[in-house]
Amino acid sequence: MWGSWALLYILLPGCTGPGAPAPIPPDTVKFWADTLGSEVYSIITKYSGSLLLQKKYKDVEPTLSIEEVDGLELVKKFSEEMESMLRRKVEAVERLVEAAEEADLNHEFNESMEFEYYNSVRINEKDEDDNYVDLGNEFILETNEHFNNLMVNTTLSNIQLPTNVYNKDPDILNGVYMSEALNPVFVENFQRDPTLTWQYFGSSTGFFRLYPGIKWTPDENGVISFDCRNRGWYIQAATSPKDIVIVVDISGSMKGLRMTIAKHTINTLLDTLGENDFVNIIAYNDYVHYIEPCFKGILVQADRDNREHFKQLVDELQAKGVGTVNKALIEAFKILKEFREAGQGGLCNQAIMLITDGAVEDYEPVFEKYNWPEKRVRMFTYLIGREVTFAENVKWIACSNKGYYTQISTLADVQEKM
Protein backbone atom coordinates (compact mmCIF):
# COMPACT_ATOMS: atom_id res chain seq x y z
CA MET A 1 0.00 0.00 0.00
CA TRP A 2 2.73 2.48 0.90
CA GLY A 3 4.38 1.63 -2.37
CA SER A 4 1.26 2.70 -4.24
CA TRP A 5 1.02 5.94 -2.28
CA ALA A 6 4.58 6.81 -3.09
CA LEU A 7 4.03 6.07 -6.72
CA LEU A 8 0.94 8.28 -6.93
CA TYR A 9 2.80 11.07 -5.28
CA ILE A 10 5.65 10.99 -7.69
CA LEU A 11 3.35 10.93 -10.70
CA LEU A 12 1.56 14.10 -9.64
CA PRO A 13 2.49 16.91 -12.01
CA GLY A 14 3.99 20.08 -10.60
CA CYS A 15 5.92 18.31 -7.94
CA THR A 16 9.04 17.86 -9.96
CA GLY A 17 12.14 19.47 -8.61
CA PRO A 18 12.90 22.85 -7.10
CA GLY A 19 12.29 26.25 -8.69
CA ALA A 20 9.42 28.71 -8.42
CA PRO A 21 6.29 27.00 -9.85
CA ALA A 22 3.84 28.98 -11.93
CA PRO A 23 0.51 29.67 -10.15
CA ILE A 24 -1.87 26.76 -10.61
CA PRO A 25 -5.56 27.40 -11.37
CA PRO A 26 -7.92 26.16 -8.59
CA ASP A 27 -9.85 23.97 -11.06
CA THR A 28 -6.73 22.03 -11.85
CA VAL A 29 -6.04 21.47 -8.16
CA LYS A 30 -9.57 20.18 -7.67
CA PHE A 31 -9.11 17.87 -10.64
CA TRP A 32 -5.88 16.49 -9.13
CA ALA A 33 -7.51 16.02 -5.76
CA ASP A 34 -10.47 14.17 -7.31
CA THR A 35 -8.18 12.01 -9.39
CA LEU A 36 -6.02 11.20 -6.39
CA GLY A 37 -9.12 10.47 -4.29
CA SER A 38 -10.69 8.05 -6.73
CA GLU A 39 -7.34 6.46 -7.46
CA VAL A 40 -6.75 5.80 -3.75
CA TYR A 41 -10.31 4.55 -3.30
CA SER A 42 -10.02 2.06 -6.11
CA ILE A 43 -6.65 0.79 -4.92
CA ILE A 44 -7.87 0.33 -1.36
CA THR A 45 -11.02 -1.37 -2.53
CA LYS A 46 -9.00 -3.70 -4.70
CA TYR A 47 -6.35 -4.69 -2.14
CA SER A 48 -8.35 -4.68 1.09
CA GLY A 49 -10.91 -7.11 -0.28
CA SER A 50 -13.70 -4.98 1.16
CA LEU A 51 -16.19 -5.91 -1.56
CA LEU A 52 -15.62 -9.57 -0.96
CA LEU A 53 -16.06 -8.99 2.75
CA GLN A 54 -19.36 -7.22 2.15
CA LYS A 55 -20.57 -10.04 -0.03
CA LYS A 56 -19.55 -12.67 2.53
CA TYR A 57 -21.32 -10.73 5.21
CA LYS A 58 -24.55 -10.60 3.14
CA ASP A 59 -24.37 -14.39 2.72
CA VAL A 60 -24.25 -15.11 6.43
CA GLU A 61 -26.23 -12.12 7.70
CA PRO A 62 -29.44 -14.06 8.50
CA THR A 63 -27.58 -16.41 10.84
CA LEU A 64 -25.73 -13.69 12.76
CA SER A 65 -26.69 -12.35 16.14
CA ILE A 66 -25.15 -9.81 18.46
CA GLU A 67 -23.87 -10.85 21.84
CA GLU A 68 -22.74 -8.54 24.60
CA VAL A 69 -19.28 -9.28 25.96
CA ASP A 70 -17.56 -7.93 29.00
CA GLY A 71 -14.31 -6.66 27.55
CA LEU A 72 -12.47 -6.58 30.84
CA GLU A 73 -13.56 -10.10 31.72
CA LEU A 74 -12.47 -11.29 28.30
CA VAL A 75 -9.02 -9.72 28.57
CA LYS A 76 -8.60 -11.19 32.05
CA LYS A 77 -9.47 -14.63 30.81
CA PHE A 78 -7.09 -14.35 27.87
CA SER A 79 -4.30 -13.16 30.08
CA GLU A 80 -4.83 -16.03 32.51
CA GLU A 81 -4.79 -18.55 29.71
CA MET A 82 -1.73 -16.93 28.22
CA GLU A 83 0.04 -16.97 31.53
CA SER A 84 -0.68 -20.60 32.21
CA MET A 85 0.37 -21.53 28.69
CA LEU A 86 3.67 -19.70 29.09
CA ARG A 87 4.19 -21.15 32.54
CA ARG A 88 3.82 -24.66 31.18
CA LYS A 89 6.47 -23.87 28.56
CA VAL A 90 8.83 -22.49 31.15
CA GLU A 91 8.35 -25.54 33.34
CA ALA A 92 9.08 -27.82 30.41
CA VAL A 93 12.33 -26.01 29.73
CA GLU A 94 13.27 -26.11 33.40
CA ARG A 95 12.79 -29.87 33.50
CA LEU A 96 15.10 -30.21 30.49
CA VAL A 97 17.76 -27.96 31.99
CA GLU A 98 17.71 -29.94 35.20
CA ALA A 99 18.01 -33.27 33.40
CA ALA A 100 20.84 -31.97 31.22
CA GLU A 101 22.78 -30.64 34.18
CA GLU A 102 22.26 -33.85 36.10
CA ALA A 103 23.43 -35.94 33.16
CA ASP A 104 26.46 -33.74 32.62
CA LEU A 105 27.41 -33.97 36.27
CA ASN A 106 27.17 -37.76 36.27
CA HIS A 107 29.00 -38.26 33.01
CA GLU A 108 32.68 -39.08 32.98
CA PHE A 109 34.35 -38.14 29.69
CA ASN A 110 35.59 -41.21 27.78
CA GLU A 111 38.06 -40.47 25.00
CA SER A 112 37.62 -43.89 23.38
CA MET A 113 33.87 -44.06 23.67
CA GLU A 114 31.95 -45.98 21.03
CA PHE A 115 28.29 -45.23 20.71
CA GLU A 116 25.63 -45.84 18.06
CA TYR A 117 23.16 -43.00 17.97
CA TYR A 118 20.38 -42.04 15.59
CA ASN A 119 21.86 -39.53 13.17
CA SER A 120 18.92 -37.70 11.59
CA VAL A 121 20.54 -37.63 8.14
CA ARG A 122 21.64 -41.28 8.13
CA ILE A 123 18.64 -43.01 9.71
CA ASN A 124 16.87 -45.57 7.53
CA GLU A 125 19.67 -45.41 4.91
CA LYS A 126 20.99 -48.71 3.56
CA ASP A 127 24.18 -49.62 1.72
CA GLU A 128 24.32 -51.72 -1.46
CA ASP A 129 24.23 -54.94 0.61
CA ASP A 130 20.93 -53.83 2.11
CA ASN A 131 22.45 -53.26 5.55
CA TYR A 132 21.72 -50.13 7.52
CA VAL A 133 24.62 -47.69 7.32
CA ASP A 134 26.67 -46.62 10.32
CA LEU A 135 24.64 -44.41 12.69
CA GLY A 136 21.70 -45.03 10.41
CA ASN A 137 19.62 -47.76 12.00
CA GLU A 138 15.94 -48.20 11.40
CA PHE A 139 14.02 -45.28 12.86
CA ILE A 140 10.29 -45.60 12.57
CA LEU A 141 8.58 -42.40 11.43
CA GLU A 142 4.89 -41.59 11.29
CA THR A 143 2.98 -38.61 9.96
CA ASN A 144 1.83 -36.43 12.81
CA GLU A 145 -0.75 -33.66 12.48
CA HIS A 146 0.61 -31.86 15.48
CA PHE A 147 3.97 -31.42 13.77
CA ASN A 148 2.87 -29.89 10.46
CA ASN A 149 2.08 -33.36 9.11
CA LEU A 150 5.76 -34.21 9.04
CA MET A 151 7.06 -37.72 9.54
CA VAL A 152 8.21 -37.89 13.15
CA ASN A 153 9.00 -40.32 15.94
CA THR A 154 7.46 -39.22 19.21
CA THR A 155 9.33 -41.70 21.41
CA LEU A 156 12.86 -40.62 20.52
CA SER A 157 14.85 -37.54 19.69
CA ASN A 158 17.66 -37.78 17.16
CA ILE A 159 20.85 -35.98 16.31
CA GLN A 160 21.71 -33.50 13.58
CA LEU A 161 25.25 -32.36 12.84
CA PRO A 162 26.47 -29.74 10.39
CA THR A 163 28.64 -31.09 7.56
CA ASN A 164 31.86 -29.70 9.00
CA VAL A 165 31.53 -31.56 12.31
CA TYR A 166 32.83 -35.14 12.44
CA ASN A 167 30.01 -37.38 13.59
CA LYS A 168 32.28 -39.64 15.68
CA ASP A 169 34.44 -37.03 17.34
CA PRO A 170 34.89 -38.04 21.01
CA ASP A 171 33.32 -34.73 22.10
CA ILE A 172 30.27 -35.49 19.99
CA LEU A 173 29.97 -39.11 21.10
CA ASN A 174 30.27 -38.19 24.77
CA GLY A 175 27.82 -35.31 24.45
CA VAL A 176 25.28 -37.33 22.52
CA TYR A 177 25.59 -40.24 24.93
CA MET A 178 25.21 -37.96 27.93
CA SER A 179 22.19 -36.15 26.49
CA GLU A 180 20.30 -39.41 25.81
CA ALA A 181 18.99 -38.70 29.31
CA LEU A 182 16.77 -36.03 27.78
CA ASN A 183 14.64 -38.51 25.82
CA PRO A 184 12.27 -39.43 28.65
CA VAL A 185 11.98 -35.76 29.64
CA PHE A 186 11.03 -34.73 26.09
CA VAL A 187 8.33 -37.41 26.05
CA GLU A 188 7.07 -36.50 29.50
CA ASN A 189 6.93 -32.79 28.64
CA PHE A 190 4.93 -33.56 25.51
CA GLN A 191 2.49 -35.72 27.44
CA ARG A 192 2.02 -33.10 30.13
CA ASP A 193 1.51 -30.27 27.67
CA PRO A 194 0.23 -31.42 24.30
CA THR A 195 0.41 -27.86 22.95
CA LEU A 196 4.20 -28.13 23.01
CA THR A 197 5.82 -28.55 19.65
CA TRP A 198 9.54 -28.92 19.02
CA GLN A 199 11.93 -29.40 21.90
CA TYR A 200 15.65 -29.33 21.32
CA PHE A 201 19.08 -29.27 22.84
CA GLY A 202 22.00 -27.49 21.16
CA SER A 203 25.53 -28.36 22.24
CA SER A 204 28.62 -26.18 22.05
CA THR A 205 30.31 -29.12 20.29
CA GLY A 206 27.86 -28.62 17.43
CA PHE A 207 25.28 -31.37 17.71
CA PHE A 208 21.60 -30.64 17.79
CA ARG A 209 19.24 -33.06 19.53
CA LEU A 210 15.74 -32.66 18.21
CA TYR A 211 12.48 -34.06 19.59
CA PRO A 212 10.47 -35.54 18.02
CA GLY A 213 13.04 -37.31 15.86
CA ILE A 214 12.82 -36.60 12.13
CA LYS A 215 14.63 -37.43 8.92
CA TRP A 216 16.90 -34.54 7.94
CA THR A 217 17.68 -33.95 4.27
CA PRO A 218 20.84 -32.16 3.15
CA ASP A 219 20.49 -29.35 0.59
CA GLU A 220 20.85 -29.98 -3.16
CA ASN A 221 24.66 -29.92 -2.87
CA GLY A 222 24.62 -32.55 -0.16
CA VAL A 223 25.58 -29.99 2.46
CA ILE A 224 24.04 -29.74 5.92
CA SER A 225 24.56 -26.12 6.74
CA PHE A 226 22.25 -25.84 9.76
CA ASP A 227 24.46 -25.29 12.81
CA CYS A 228 22.54 -24.80 16.03
CA ARG A 229 25.39 -22.68 17.38
CA ASN A 230 24.59 -19.94 14.86
CA ARG A 231 20.95 -19.64 15.81
CA GLY A 232 19.75 -16.60 17.69
CA TRP A 233 18.32 -18.68 20.56
CA TYR A 234 21.64 -20.42 21.07
CA ILE A 235 23.75 -17.27 21.02
CA GLN A 236 21.35 -15.51 23.31
CA ALA A 237 21.38 -18.34 25.82
CA ALA A 238 25.12 -18.94 25.64
CA THR A 239 25.93 -15.34 26.38
CA SER A 240 22.94 -14.48 28.50
CA PRO A 241 23.27 -11.64 30.98
CA LYS A 242 24.74 -12.47 34.35
CA ASP A 243 24.82 -10.85 37.77
CA ILE A 244 28.14 -11.62 39.39
CA VAL A 245 29.57 -10.85 42.80
CA ILE A 246 33.26 -11.60 43.11
CA VAL A 247 34.23 -12.34 46.70
CA VAL A 248 37.96 -12.34 47.33
CA ASP A 249 39.92 -13.39 50.38
CA ILE A 250 42.52 -10.79 51.41
CA SER A 251 43.47 -12.33 54.74
CA GLY A 252 47.14 -12.61 55.76
CA SER A 253 47.62 -16.09 54.31
CA MET A 254 46.99 -14.72 50.81
CA LYS A 255 50.19 -12.65 50.88
CA GLY A 256 52.68 -12.88 48.02
CA LEU A 257 52.17 -15.16 45.05
CA ARG A 258 48.66 -16.16 46.12
CA MET A 259 47.52 -12.56 46.05
CA THR A 260 49.10 -12.12 42.64
CA ILE A 261 47.27 -15.17 41.34
CA ALA A 262 44.02 -13.99 42.94
CA LYS A 263 44.32 -10.57 41.29
CA HIS A 264 45.05 -12.16 37.95
CA THR A 265 42.04 -14.43 38.41
CA ILE A 266 39.74 -11.48 39.10
CA ASN A 267 41.01 -9.59 36.06
CA THR A 268 40.46 -12.62 33.86
CA LEU A 269 36.95 -12.97 35.26
CA LEU A 270 36.21 -9.32 34.58
CA ASP A 271 37.33 -9.79 30.99
CA THR A 272 34.65 -12.42 30.44
CA LEU A 273 31.93 -9.93 31.36
CA GLY A 274 30.22 -7.54 28.99
CA GLU A 275 27.78 -4.68 28.91
CA ASN A 276 24.80 -6.91 29.61
CA ASP A 277 26.32 -8.16 32.84
CA PHE A 278 26.29 -6.65 36.31
CA VAL A 279 29.06 -7.01 38.81
CA ASN A 280 30.58 -6.00 42.12
CA ILE A 281 33.67 -7.04 44.06
CA ILE A 282 33.80 -7.65 47.79
CA ALA A 283 37.07 -8.27 49.61
CA TYR A 284 37.17 -9.74 53.09
CA ASN A 285 39.47 -10.31 56.00
CA ASP A 286 38.26 -9.42 59.51
CA TYR A 287 35.95 -6.99 57.74
CA VAL A 288 33.92 -6.91 54.60
CA HIS A 289 35.04 -4.19 52.16
CA TYR A 290 33.47 -3.17 48.92
CA ILE A 291 36.59 -2.48 46.92
CA GLU A 292 34.77 0.56 45.53
CA PRO A 293 32.94 2.04 48.54
CA CYS A 294 30.66 4.07 46.24
CA PHE A 295 29.24 0.78 44.93
CA LYS A 296 28.24 -0.44 48.38
CA GLY A 297 25.20 -2.70 48.30
CA ILE A 298 24.60 -2.54 44.54
CA LEU A 299 25.68 -4.12 41.30
CA VAL A 300 27.05 -2.00 38.47
CA GLN A 301 27.03 -2.55 34.75
CA ALA A 302 30.15 -4.42 33.68
CA ASP A 303 30.94 -1.97 30.90
CA ARG A 304 34.49 -1.17 29.96
CA ASP A 305 34.82 1.84 32.29
CA ASN A 306 33.64 -0.02 35.36
CA ARG A 307 35.77 -3.05 34.53
CA GLU A 308 38.89 -0.90 34.16
CA HIS A 309 38.04 0.93 37.36
CA PHE A 310 37.70 -2.36 39.23
CA LYS A 311 41.00 -3.59 37.82
CA GLN A 312 42.82 -0.58 39.23
CA LEU A 313 41.28 -1.11 42.65
CA VAL A 314 42.06 -4.84 42.57
CA ASP A 315 45.67 -3.99 41.87
CA GLU A 316 45.83 -2.03 45.14
CA LEU A 317 44.46 -4.84 47.34
CA GLN A 318 46.73 -5.94 50.19
CA ALA A 319 46.59 -9.09 52.26
CA LYS A 320 46.38 -8.87 56.02
CA GLY A 321 44.33 -10.01 58.98
CA VAL A 322 42.08 -13.04 59.48
CA GLY A 323 39.53 -14.18 56.94
CA THR A 324 35.86 -14.52 57.84
CA VAL A 325 34.09 -15.46 54.67
CA ASN A 326 30.56 -15.81 55.96
CA LYS A 327 29.91 -12.11 56.39
CA ALA A 328 31.11 -11.48 52.85
CA LEU A 329 28.91 -14.28 51.48
CA ILE A 330 25.86 -12.94 53.30
CA GLU A 331 26.55 -9.51 51.84
CA ALA A 332 26.85 -11.00 48.35
CA PHE A 333 23.63 -13.02 48.65
CA LYS A 334 21.84 -9.91 49.88
CA ILE A 335 22.86 -7.72 46.95
CA LEU A 336 21.92 -10.40 44.46
CA LYS A 337 18.56 -10.94 46.11
CA GLU A 338 17.74 -7.23 46.15
CA PHE A 339 18.77 -6.89 42.55
CA ARG A 340 16.70 -9.89 41.56
CA GLU A 341 13.64 -8.72 43.43
CA ALA A 342 13.88 -5.28 41.91
CA GLY A 343 13.70 -7.00 38.51
CA GLN A 344 17.03 -5.56 37.44
CA GLY A 345 20.02 -7.15 35.75
CA GLY A 346 20.38 -10.64 34.34
CA LEU A 347 17.66 -12.15 36.56
CA CYS A 348 18.03 -15.79 35.80
CA ASN A 349 21.81 -16.05 35.99
CA GLN A 350 23.28 -15.02 39.27
CA ALA A 351 26.55 -16.22 40.67
CA ILE A 352 29.10 -15.65 43.37
CA MET A 353 32.75 -16.21 42.48
CA LEU A 354 34.65 -17.04 45.65
CA ILE A 355 38.42 -16.70 45.45
CA THR A 356 40.26 -17.98 48.50
CA ASP A 357 43.20 -20.08 49.67
CA GLY A 358 41.15 -21.99 52.17
CA ALA A 359 37.93 -21.97 54.09
CA VAL A 360 37.21 -23.57 57.40
CA GLU A 361 34.02 -21.99 58.65
CA ASP A 362 30.66 -23.69 58.80
CA TYR A 363 28.82 -22.32 55.75
CA GLU A 364 25.77 -24.50 55.83
CA PRO A 365 23.66 -22.10 57.90
CA VAL A 366 24.45 -19.28 55.43
CA PHE A 367 23.42 -21.33 52.39
CA GLU A 368 20.40 -22.62 54.22
CA LYS A 369 19.24 -19.14 55.01
CA TYR A 370 20.17 -17.40 51.75
CA ASN A 371 20.32 -19.90 48.92
CA TRP A 372 18.64 -23.22 49.62
CA PRO A 373 16.57 -24.99 48.52
CA GLU A 374 16.11 -23.06 45.24
CA LYS A 375 19.83 -22.43 44.72
CA ARG A 376 19.05 -19.31 42.70
CA VAL A 377 22.65 -18.19 43.06
CA ARG A 378 25.39 -20.44 41.73
CA MET A 379 28.68 -20.51 43.55
CA PHE A 380 31.93 -20.93 41.68
CA THR A 381 34.96 -21.44 43.88
CA TYR A 382 38.60 -20.85 43.00
CA LEU A 383 41.09 -22.32 45.44
CA ILE A 384 44.36 -20.45 45.14
CA GLY A 385 47.69 -22.19 45.83
CA ARG A 386 48.98 -25.73 45.94
CA GLU A 387 47.54 -26.62 49.32
CA VAL A 388 44.89 -29.33 49.13
CA THR A 389 43.83 -29.35 52.80
CA PHE A 390 40.85 -27.15 52.05
CA ALA A 391 40.03 -28.61 48.67
CA GLU A 392 37.14 -30.78 49.86
CA ASN A 393 35.59 -27.92 51.74
CA VAL A 394 35.84 -25.42 48.90
CA LYS A 395 34.63 -28.00 46.40
CA TRP A 396 31.63 -28.72 48.57
CA ILE A 397 30.65 -25.04 48.54
CA ALA A 398 30.52 -25.09 44.75
CA CYS A 399 28.84 -28.46 44.38
CA SER A 400 26.09 -27.75 46.87
CA ASN A 401 25.26 -24.52 45.05
CA LYS A 402 25.11 -25.68 41.41
CA GLY A 403 28.57 -24.34 40.58
CA TYR A 404 32.05 -25.51 39.71
CA TYR A 405 35.22 -25.79 41.71
CA THR A 406 38.69 -25.03 40.35
CA GLN A 407 42.10 -25.09 41.94
CA ILE A 408 44.53 -22.50 40.59
CA SER A 409 48.08 -23.27 41.69
CA THR A 410 50.15 -21.12 39.38
CA LEU A 411 49.82 -17.97 37.34
CA ALA A 412 49.88 -20.05 34.18
CA ASP A 413 46.77 -21.88 35.38
CA VAL A 414 44.64 -18.79 35.45
CA GLN A 415 43.86 -18.35 31.76
CA GLU A 416 43.37 -22.04 31.18
CA LYS A 417 41.15 -22.79 34.16
CA MET A 418 38.84 -19.81 34.06
Ligand X SMILES: *[C@@H]1O[C@H](CO)[C@@H](O)[C@H](O)[C@H]1NC(C)=O
One-letter amino acid of 275 = E
Nearer to ligand X, 139 or 363 (CB): 139
Minimum Å distance from CB 156 to ligand X?
5
Residue 145 found at the interface with ligand X (CB under 6 A) = no
Minimum Å distance from CB 173 to ligand X?
9
Give me the helices (H) in 180-231, please: 182-192
Residue 233: CA count within 13 A, CB half-sphere: 8
Nearest to 336 by CA among 242, 237, 265: 242
Residue of the chain from 79, 155, 197, 239 that contacts ligand X (CB under 6 A): 155
Residue of the chain from 156, 181, 187, 257 that contacts ligand X (CB under 6 A): 156
Select from 51-59, 106-114, 226-234, 370-378 the region that touches ligand X (CB under 6 A): 106-114
Residue 113 found at the interface with ligand X (CB under 6 A) = yes
Residue of the chain from 153, 167, 253, 356 that contacts ligand X (CB under 6 A): 153
Tell me the per-residue interface mask from 119 to 138 with ligand X, x by CB under 6 A, - otherwise.
Answer: -------------------x
Minimum Å distance from CB 155 to ligand X?
4
What are the residues whose beta carbons fall under 8 Å from the beta carbon of 135, sequence distance 6 or more? 116, 117, 118, 119, 122, 167
What are the residues whose beta carbons fall under 8 Å from the beta carbon of 353, sequence distance 6 or more? 244, 245, 246, 247, 269, 380, 381, 382
Nearer to ligand X, 113 or 322 (CB): 113
Q: With beta carbons less than 8 A apart as the criterion, state whether 407 and 391 touch.
A: yes
Residue 114 found at the interface with ligand X (CB under 6 A) = yes
Tell me the per-residue interface mask from 209 to 248 with ligand X, x by CB under 6 A, - otherwise.
Answer: ----------------------------------------
Give strand pairing partners of 213: 153
DSSP string, 260-287: HHHHHHHHHHHHT--TT-EEEEEEESSS
**Spatial separation of the C-alpha atoms in residues 95 and 90, rounded to whole Å:** 9
Nearer to ligand X, 151 or 313 (CB): 151
Residue 140 found at the interface with ligand X (CB under 6 A) = yes
Select from 46-54, 108-116, 248-256, 371-379 the region that touches ligand X (CB under 6 A): 108-116
Residue 110 found at the interface with ligand X (CB under 6 A) = yes
Nearer to ligand X, 155 or 225 (CB): 155
First-to-last alpha carbon distance for the chain, in angstroms, is 55
DSSP string, 38-62: HHHHHHHHHHHTHHHHHHHHHHHGG
Residue of the chain from 142, 305, 308, 315 that contacts ligand X (CB under 6 A): 142
Binding site for ligand X (CB under 6 A): 110, 112-114, 138-140, 142, 153-156
